[in-house]
Amino acid sequence: MSAAVYALPAFSFRFFPIWRRNFLVWKKLAGASILGNIADPLITLVAFGYGLGSLLNSINGIPYIHFLASGSICMSVMMAASFEALYSAFSRMHVQKTWDALLNAPLALDDVVLAEMLWAATKSLFSGIAILIVIFMLGIGLHPTVLVVPPLLFLIGMTFASIGLIINALARGYDFFTYYFTLVLTPMVFLSGVYYPTAQLPEWLRAISALLPLGAAVSLIRPLVLGEWPRAPWVDVLILVAYCAAGFYAATILTRRRLLK
């Protein structure tokens, strides 16, 4: 049993019916779901972009609302993926017992975890695209480089979904997620250049910021939204892939230890 718990995840196409099941359930409330996921970053964009933007005209020659919008997309994807991998996945795993029902079918637990990760990433991509459409309406991000953004948003969603599933496997109740949002995600937002350049931070904090998944996400997405190419895209992509792979492996192990007793 010990060796099986720590084995590498076994991937198969059996995850797809689970992903599709989650999509069909979500589709019934798609409008409200997307609105809920984009409301917070949209309010932040309008309040800070126009409010603070009237006092702070530009950052490094970039209008502040453009600077904020290009970071808010990443924050929106992070939050949407995290909420789905935490609250929704926990409900299916622990409260509704959906996972138990699925495991009575010819499915492996690894299929369920993979489907949850990919579904959370898909849902976060919907939120990211919705934010993109809003900023297009504001005249921001109308550049050919934006065509590269959606696949990168999906990778960002996969990364935070994988990390969120670790917390999901450890949680005994919904209250546990508050610690993750308060102690991990919120500080990450302020350290990753969403609201202001990381150059404002002390050198040791800048080094930490460069290694954070949200920091890598902002470094990738902001230049593309502003019509430029990232300075070191492969470094940022590798950081995200490393967090995604390590997070998914850890989530799979912890979920096996919790459910396969």
HSE-up of residue 66 (Cα within 13 Å, Cβ side): 17
List of E strands, 19-164: 58-59, 62-63
pLDDT one-digit tens code per residue, 75-128: 999 999 999 999 999 999 988 899 989 988 888 999 999 999 999 999 999 989
Q: What is the pLDDT of residue 55?
A: 65
Q: What is the pLDDT of residue 161?
A: 98
Tell me if 38 sits within 8 A of 127, measured CB to CB: yes
pLDDT above 60: residue 1: no
Q: What is the dihedral angle through the alpha carbons of 69, 226, 148, 240, rounded to the nearest 10 degrees?
A: -60
Average pLDDT, the chain: 89
Q: Where are the domains of the chain?
A: 16-259
Tell me if 194 sits within 8 A of 79, measured CB to CB: no
Tell me which residue of 224, 80, 49 sits closest to 150, measured CA to CA: 224
pLDDT above 60: residue 132: yes
Tell me if 113 sits within 8 A of 17, measured CB to CB: no
Identify the bridge partners of residue 58 per DSSP, sorted by sequence position.
63
pLDDT one-digit tens code per residue, 152-189: 999 999 999 999 999 999 999 999 999 999 999 999 99
How many angstroms separate the CA atoms of 72 and 45, rounded? 7
pLDDT above 70 covers a percentage of the chain that reads 94
How many angstroms separate the CA atoms of 163 and 174, rounded? 16
**Position 54 confidence tier, pLDDT thresholds 50, 70, 90:** low
